[in-house]
Amino acid sequence: MSNLSIRGIDPDLATTLKQQAQASGKSVNQLVLDVLKEHTGLHKKKHFTQEYHDLDFLFGKWTDSEFQKIQGKIDSESQIDDELWQ
């Protein structure tokens, strides 16, 4: 791996880079590497990595009896009907 120094970064750009890095949970170095790769065509975008949180409020809310009822329904619907597959 090579090292590269970038000189002449003004305070506004430095602040923006730090804010974007913090917002994305990355270091400034990783953010800059990702931006450079994306703008030079070397970054391959990952597919199917979007996270959804619209059902998070349900997590941990089922009682054991509710879980067993729901799981039973799922299990019964996942059975293969041999007559339909002949």
Reported pTM = 0.50
Q: pLDDT value at position 81?
A: 80
> pLDDT: is 8 or 79 the higher one?
8
CB 16 within 8 A of CB 26: no
pLDDT greater than 90 at residue 27: yes
* pLDDT higher than 80, residue 46: no
What is the DSSP-derived secondary structure letter of residue 58? G
End-to-end CA distance of the chain: 59
CA 33, 35, 38, 40 torsion: positive or negative?
negative
Phi-psi label, residue 50: left if phi above 0, alpha if psi -120 to 50, beta otherwise: beta
86 or 4, greater pLDDT? 4
The span from the CA of 20 to the CA of 43, in Å, is 18
